[in-house]
Amino acid sequence: MGFGAIGAAVGEGYTAAQANAALSRDPENAGGIFKSMLVGQAIAESASIFALVVAMILLFSDFSNGSYVTVAALFGAGLAMGFGAIGSGVGSGFPAGAACVGLARQPAISGKLTTNMLIGSAVCQTPSIFAMVTAFILLFSDFSQSPVNPTWAAVLGAGLASGLGAIGSGIGGGSVAEASSEGVARQPGALTTVTNVMLLGQAITQTPAILALLVSFILIFKSYPATGAIAPAMALLASGLCMGIGAIGPGIGEGIASSGGVRWIARNSSIAGDLTRTMLVGMAVAESTAIYSMVIALVLIFVV
Amino acid sequence: MTIEGADIVKAAAFLGAGISMGLGAIGPGVGEGMAAAKACEAIGRNPKEAGLLTRTMLVGQAVAESTGIYSLVIALLLLFVV
C-alpha cells in the first residue's frame, strides 16, 4: 500500500504541475483544463485504490490457521500490489499532463484529446491489474499441502516478480500515451494513425510485465519437493527478483522508444511506415535484456 | 534443519545470479529505448536517411546491450561454475 501510494502521488503531482503550466498559457480555458486534470488524476489514483483493496483484505481477513507459507504468501501479495501500483500510478499521470497542455494549445479538440488520453491511461493500468491478479491468487490459494521450505521462497518470489515487473511497463506505457496525447494536440488530423501506433507501442511495452506474470504463475503453481537445504529456496526467490527487476528497464526503455515513434508519426505521418518499422526494431532490441532475465529466472526454477 | 557451508555458498550464488541479471537488465533496457527514440526523431526530421539511421541505431544499441550480456555471463557463471 505504501509503495502503491508513492506511484499515484508522483503521477498526480505531475498531472497537476502540467495543468498549472497549461493554465498559465491559456487562462481562459481554466475549466476545461481543470476537468481534464481531474479525470486524469482519477485514473492515476485507481492503481493505488487496487493497492488499498489488497491492503484492506490483508488487514481484515482471518489467517489464524495459516502456516509460514501463508505468511510468505501474504507478504508476497502485499509486495506485488504495492510495487505493481507504482508504475501505473506514475505512467497514468503522463498522458493526463500532456492532455492538459494540449487543451491549452488546442481547446477546440478537447473531446478527441480526452478520448485519446483515456485510452492511453486505461492501457497504463494493465500492469497494475496483472499485479493485482497475482496478489489475489497469493491471498486466496491454499498452500497447506505444500512443503514449507522451498514454497515460502516461491510465493515471495512470485509476488516480487509480478510487482517489480509491473513498474517498468506502467511507466513505459505512460510515456507512449503522453507522446500520443501531445501528438494529437499538435496534429488533430493524425488522430487515427497516432492512436493505432500508440496502442501497438503500448502492447509491446506490456510484454516485460507479461513475462513477469508468467514467471510468477510458474513459481506459484509448480509443486516442489520438500527439502532441508536453503539453496533451492534461494534459487526460487532469486528467480522472482531477477525477472521482476529485469523487467523494469526494458519496460521503461520500450516506452521511451515507442514515445519517440509516436511523437514523430504525429508530426510527419507521411512516413508512418518507416517510423513504425524503426520503432519496432528498436523495441525488439530493448526487449532482449528482459528475455535474458526470463532465461535466468527459468534456469533458476527448473535447472539448478 | 542443519545448514552446511556448501549450501550457503550455493544459496548466495543463486541469489547473486538473480540480482546480477535483474539489475543488469535495467540500464541496457532504458538506454536502448533512448537510442531508438532518438532514431525515430531523426528519421522524422530527415526521412531520406532512414536506412543509415536505423543502421546507426542498431550499432549503438548493440554496444548498449554489451553490459546486459556481461550480466548474463556473470549470472550463468554464478549458476553453473561457482
* Chain B contact set for A208 (CB, 8 A): 29
Distance from CA of A274 to the nearest CA of B (A): 7
Q: Is residue B2 part of a domain?
A: no
Could B32 and A271 be called an inter-chain contact, meaning their C-beta atoms sit closer than 8 Å? no
CATH number of residue B15's parent domain: 1.20.20.10
User: What pLDDT score was predicted for residue A203?
Assistant: 94
Q: Is residue B67 part of a domain?
A: yes
Q: How many whole angstroms separate alpha carbon B49 and alpha carbon B38?
A: 14
The residue range of the domain holding B26 is 7-80
**Other Cβ atoms closer than 10 A to A144:** 10
The residue range of the domain holding A157 is 2-302
Q: What is the residue type of A224? A: Y
| Helix, strand or coil, per DSSP, at residue A223 | coil
Could A271 and B50 be called an inter-chain contact, meaning their C-beta atoms sit closer than 8 Å? yes
Closest CA to A30 of A92, A93, A103, A102: A103
Name which of B4, B23, B32 to mutate to probe chain A: the one with the most chain A Cβ atoms within 10 A of its Cβ. B32
User: What pLDDT score was predicted for residue A94?
Assistant: 87
Could B57 and A264 be called an inter-chain contact, meaning their C-beta atoms sit closer than 8 Å? no
Q: How many whole angstroms separate alpha carbon B35 and alpha carbon B57?
A: 6
pLDDT value at B1 more than 60: no
Could A233 and B71 be called an inter-chain contact, meaning their C-beta atoms sit closer than 8 Å? no
Stretch (H or E) spanning A234: helix A231-246
What digits encode the pLDDT tens for the residues B47-64? 998 999 999 999 999 999
Answer with the residue of higher pLDDT: B9 or A15: B9
Q: How many whole angstroms separate alpha carbon A224 and alpha carbon A222?
A: 6
Residue of B nearest to A227 (CA): B1
Cell numbers given for A153: 521462497
Residue of B nearest to A259 (CA): B37
Could A242 and B29 be called an inter-chain contact, meaning their C-beta atoms sit closer than 8 Å? no
User: What pLDDT score was predicted for residue A7?
Assistant: 58
User: What pLDDT score was predicted for residue A196?
Assistant: 92
User: What pLDDT score was predicted for residue A90?
Assistant: 84
Angle, CA A130 vertex, CA A125 and CA A136 arms, to 5°:
120
Distance from CA of A285 to the nearest CA of B (A): 7
User: What pLDDT score was predicted for residue A66?
Assistant: 67
User: What pLDDT score was predicted for residue A1?
Assistant: 54
How many structural domains is chain B composed of? Answer: 1
Split chain A (304 residues) into runs of 10 and give each run's mean pLDDT. 60 66 66 79 81 81 74 86 85 86 84 89 91 90 83 92 92 93 89 92 94 94 86 92 94 94 90 91 93 94 87
- Across the A:B interface, residue pairs with CB atoms under 8 Å apart total 210
Q: Is residue B26 part of a domain?
A: yes
* Chain A contact set for B2 (CB, 8 A): 228
Q: Residue for cell digits 498559457?
A: A25
Question: What are the helix and strand counts (H, E) for chain B?
Answer: 2, 0
Could A282 and B72 be called an inter-chain contact, meaning their C-beta atoms sit closer than 8 Å? no
CATH number of residue A120's parent domain: 1.20.120.610
How many structural domains is chain A composed of? Answer: 1
* Chain B contact set for A248 (CB, 8 A): 25-26, 29
Could A238 and B3 be called an inter-chain contact, meaning their C-beta atoms sit closer than 8 Å? no
Q: What is the residue type of A150? A: P
The answer to whether A264 touches B50, Cβ cutoff 8 Å, is no
State percent of chain B over pLDDT 70.
96
